[in-house]
């Protein structure tokens, strides 16, 4: 397996498959390490483990790796100071050091965020001790000074805000081409399982249904419409699969700055399984109404409730009707549209109206909502622009808000 991964070190898709296969075989693939890694993927002696090859790290060339191996030929590095003393910092330069740090090659000495925060200090230390060694410090009487023998201690204060694990996993993907320590969505598994439906559960028969989904942004493509407005196509993935989500101009403007690769987002929108001509399609997308970022802190501090989101039911837009005759197929027939009528006697009650809007925003769907205002003799009906998902809890919340007698479905 180590030889196979070495042959595919520059093909991240193949590497991902092979690392997954290693897991199935009980072989652990470890991050790069300056004391155990070689140019290529290598087996760790007397263990069932493989070390990532340092040549596979982006921005770390063969010259830098060979210099590390040369300095390590007699013995492993006993400390970070030992590494900086023995390895030529002109060959293993700042760019190579930064990539080695982010990839986890110095995890045996100090955590990545602390080392990256002090990279200037680290490089200055290497410069100083190597200059002292090459010049051979002497005292006034021509004797070798003890300062040249005694290695100074390197002090590395931690950063004020440590880098969280999600960002460190992003570094791995950027430099190794894949997530190695763990998949970032594992940190968000509990949160997403209770706040969003799995992407793989979305089917064409859910067309028009309001839905909340979540996952990592894999790709973002921005286009300009004929009217000169910007919209975007977003590919997101969770642990069940991936899907394309569409941001029309208004929603895109309201969420600008959010759509960056590797961010974890919670998206509220509608399932769309229609082609450009409005015909039923097997290609399922999500039309985004709103979205927000989910941070690592929010996910890790989330207290599980044990309640999963309700599974989507078949849309009421269409139903299958069997046709009589040989070779008959099920065809889509529009059903009689239902409406939800909500009566509000006092239209001046702003608190009630705001709460009503919040319920409709939270449980959007394809069922029309008609607001009935005023007393019986001066009744006024207003069709609202947003619909309600009949299969959600929205209907019960409306009844709780205005009373069961004031909510009718016809």
Digit-coded pLDDT (tens) for 247-294: 999 999 999 999 999 899 999 999 998 877 778 888 999 999 999 999
More confident residue, 178 or 5: 5
Q: Do 250 and 122 fall within a single domain?
A: no
Q: Do 136 and 34 fall within a single domain?
A: yes
The answer to whether residue 324 is domain-embedded is no
Tokens of 264: 């974890």
Give residue 252's pLDDT: 93
Query: What do you get for the CA distance between the two ends of the chain, in Å?
Result: 65
DSSP SS3 for 389: coil
Supply the pTM of this predicted model: 0.62
Distance CA 176, CA 95 (A): 15
Q: In the chain, how many domains are there?
A: 3
Q: How many CB atoms lie within 10 A of CB 406?
A: 15
Give residue 334's pLDDT: 37
Q: Do 32 and 164 fall within a single domain?
A: yes
Instruction: List the Cα angle 319/320/323 in 5-degree steps.
Output: 140
The answer to whether residue 160 is domain-embedded is yes
Q: Do 311 and 350 fall within a single domain?
A: no
Q: Do 78 and 105 fall within a single domain?
A: yes
Q: Do 172 and 255 fall within a single domain?
A: no
Distance CA 269, CA 212 (A): 6
Give residue 332's pLDDT: 38
The answer to whether residue 322 is domain-embedded is no
Q: Summarize pLDDT for 173-229 with one digit per residue, the tens.
A: 899 988 888 888 888 999 999 999 999 899 999 988 999 999 999 999 999 988 888
Give residue 104's pLDDT: 94
Q: Which domain holds residue 53?
A: 2-176
For residue 74, give the nearest of 87, 90, 57 by alpha carbon.
87
């Amino acid at each position: 397996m180590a030889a196979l991964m070495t042959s595919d070190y520059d093909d991240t898709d193949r590497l991902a498959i092979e690392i997954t296969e290693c897991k199935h075989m009980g072989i652990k693939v470890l991050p790069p390490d300056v004391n155990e890694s070689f140019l290529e993927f290598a087996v760790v002696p007397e263990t069932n483990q493989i070390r990532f090859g340092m040549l596979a790290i982006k921005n770390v060339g063969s010259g830098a790796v060979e210099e590390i191996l040369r300095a390590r030929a007699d013995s492993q590095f006993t400390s970070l100071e030992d590494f900086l003393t023995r390895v030529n910092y002109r060959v293993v330069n700042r760019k190579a050091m930064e990539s080695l740090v982010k990839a986890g090659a110095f995890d045996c000495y100090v955590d990545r965020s602390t080392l990256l925060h002090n990279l200037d200090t680290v490089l200055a230390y290497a410069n100083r001790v190597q200059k002292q060694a090459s010049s051979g410090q002497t005292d006034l009487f021509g004797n070798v000074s003890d300062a040249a023998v005694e290695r100074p201690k390197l002090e590395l204060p931690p950063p004020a805000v440590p880098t969280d694990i999600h960002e460190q996993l992003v570094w791995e993907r950027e430099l190794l081409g894949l997530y190695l320590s763990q998949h970032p969505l594992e940190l968000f598994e509990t949160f997403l399982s209770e706040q969003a439906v799995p992407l793989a559960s979305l089917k064409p028969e859910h067309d028009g249904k309001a839905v909340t989904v979540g996952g990592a942004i894999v790709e973002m493509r921005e286009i300009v419409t004929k009217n000169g407005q910007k919209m975007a196509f977003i590919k997101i993935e969770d642990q069940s699969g991936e899907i394309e989500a569409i941001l029309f101009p208004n929603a895109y403007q309201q969420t600008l700055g959010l759509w960056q690769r590797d961010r974890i987002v919670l998206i509220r929108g509608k399932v769309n399984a229609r082609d450009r001509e409005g015909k039923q399609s097997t290609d399922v997308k999500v039309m985004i109404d709103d979205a927000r970022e989910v941070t690592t802190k929010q996910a890790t501090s989330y207290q599980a409730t044990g309640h999963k989101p309700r599974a989507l039911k078949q849309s009421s837009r269409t139903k299958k009707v069997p046709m009589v005759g040989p070779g008959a197929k099920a065809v889509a027939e529009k059903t009689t549209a239902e409406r939800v009528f909500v009566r509000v006697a006092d239209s001046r009650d702003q608190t009630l109206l705001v709460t009503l809007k919040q319920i409709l925003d939270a449980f959007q769907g394809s069922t029309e909502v008609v607001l009935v205002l005023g007393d019986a003799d001066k009744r006024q009906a207003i069709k609202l622009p947003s619909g309600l998902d009949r299969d959600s809890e929205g209907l019960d919340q409306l009844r709780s808000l205005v009373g069961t007698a004031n909510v009718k479905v016809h």
